[in-house]
């Protein structure tokens, strides 16, 4: 059952779904303030923000700690899978929302998460939409076609749909408890967001793509052909691990 909220002063109503936001972070001082400012300016605030410091050596923690609604937890094991898991385990609300440290959420992002989960009790997880940060000045969220095109290609390629990408997704805390023992932890070998998505689908959970759940992401940071090649390979290893999706893409671990 959803946590009963004791007040409506923040614009929410009793019995609404409560939301934790988890942000894994490693040396993200250049982008973390923009990320947290967007979360602090929501039409409905989240119930908690958990930033997972994954051995940052820059000012990430100091900058994040300046925001009064942010709780910083530490994960010394290096890697996004470890940081994500520590954040999810630390979350205390009904729904765990996940973004990256360079994600900038739209003003009604938390409100949309609550609306989707409250309005669809059969939905266990949400996959969100994205705009291109470099083409979206100020409060604009433009060029969503780029990510939608990538989504269609990627889902068709791996045979997994809808994909929950780490830069914008959410799942019920009970769904996370159901799959925690299934997911892997070496993100040099597996694709962690593919791993989470398949784990949910294999265990009978309902994942919904919500075009209304919009963020903007730094596209130019992700265009690294060496990184893209590694993602292609780890996608195949992840599919083979689960014996799921497109068999033509299954790949044995080295």
Q: pLDDT-based confidence at 224, cuts 50/70/90? A: confident
Distance CA 163, CA 167 (A): 11
Q: pLDDT-based confidence at 254, cuts 50/70/90? A: confident
* Residue 2: inside a domain: no
- Taking a C-beta distance cutoff of 8 angstroms, is the pair 128, 169 a contact? yes
* Predicted TM-score of the model (pTM): 0.93
pLDDT digits (tens, 9 = 90+) for 59-90: 999 999 999 899 999 999 999 999 999 999 99
* Residue 248: inside a domain: no
List, as one string, the DSSP characters of 75-139.
--S-SHHHHHHHHHHH--SSEEEE--TT-EE-TTHHHHHHHHHHH-TT--EEEEEEEEGGG--TT
Q: Which domain holds residue 228?
A: 19-243
HSE, side-chain direction, 13 A CA sphere, residue 5? 18
Per-position b or e across 116-141, b if 16+ CB within 10 A of its CB: bbeeeeebbbbbbbbbbbeebeeeeb
Read off the tokens for 27.
Answer: 């040396």
Distance CA 148, CA 114 (A): 23
Percentage, residues of the chain above pLDDT 90: 87
Task: Give the least confident one: 124-133, 178-187, 223-232.
Answer: 223-232
Report the pLDDT value the prediction gives residue 13, as an integer from 0 to 100.
54
* Tally of domains in the chain: 1
pLDDT exceeds 90 at position 1: no
- Taking a C-beta distance cutoff of 8 angstroms, is the pair 86, 73 a contact? yes
- Taking a C-beta distance cutoff of 8 angstroms, is the pair 32, 25 a contact? yes
pLDDT exceeds 70 at position 222: no
* Residue 252: inside a domain: no
* Residue 38: inside a domain: yes
Distance CA 33, CA 29 (A): 7
Output the domain CATH number for residue 187.
Answer: 3.90.550.10
Report the pLDDT value the prediction gives residue 220, as an integer from 0 to 100.
77
Phi, psi of 152 (to 5 degrees): -60, -45
pLDDT digits (tens, 9 = 90+) for 147-206: 999 999 999 999 999 999 999 999 999 999 999 999 999 888 999 999 999 999 999 999
- Taking a C-beta distance cutoff of 8 angstroms, is the pair 73, 14 a contact? no
* Residue 42: inside a domain: yes
* Residue 133: inside a domain: yes
Residue with tokens 């433009």: 142
pLDDT exceeds 70 at position 36: yes
* Residue 202: inside a domain: yes
* Residue 79: inside a domain: yes
């Amino acid at each position: 059952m959803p946590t009963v909220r004791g007040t409506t002063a923040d614009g929410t109503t009793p019995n609404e779904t409560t939301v934790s936001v988890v942000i894994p972070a490693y040396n993200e001082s250049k982008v973390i303030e923009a990320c947290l400012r967007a979360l602090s300016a929501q039409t409905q605030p989240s119930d908690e923000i958990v930033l997972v410091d994954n051995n940052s050596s820059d000012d990430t923690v100091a900058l994040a700690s300046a925001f009064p609604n942010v709780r910083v937890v530490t994960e010394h094991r290096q890697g996004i899978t470890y940081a994500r898991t520590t954040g999810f385990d630390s979350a205390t609300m009904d729904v765990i929302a996940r973004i990256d440290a360079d994600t900038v959420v739209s003003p009604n992002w938390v409100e949309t998460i609550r609306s989707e989960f409250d309005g669809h009790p059969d939905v266990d997880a949400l996959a969100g939409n994205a705009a291109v940060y470099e083409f979206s000045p100020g409060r604009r969220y433009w060029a969503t076609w780029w990510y939608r095109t990538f989504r269609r290609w990627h889902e068709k390629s791996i045979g997994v749909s809808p994909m929950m990408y780490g830069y914008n997704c959410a799942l019920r805390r009970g769904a996370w408890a159901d799959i925690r023992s299934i997911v892997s932890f070496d993100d040099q070998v597996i694709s962690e967001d593919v791993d989470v998505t398949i784990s949910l689908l294999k265990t009978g959970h309902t994942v919904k793509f919500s075009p209304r759940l919009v963020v903007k992401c730094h596209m130019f940071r992700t265009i690294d052909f060496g990184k893209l090649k590694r993602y292609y390979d780890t996608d195949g290893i992840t599919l083979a691990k689960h014996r799921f999706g497109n068999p033509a893409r299954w790949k044995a671990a080295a």
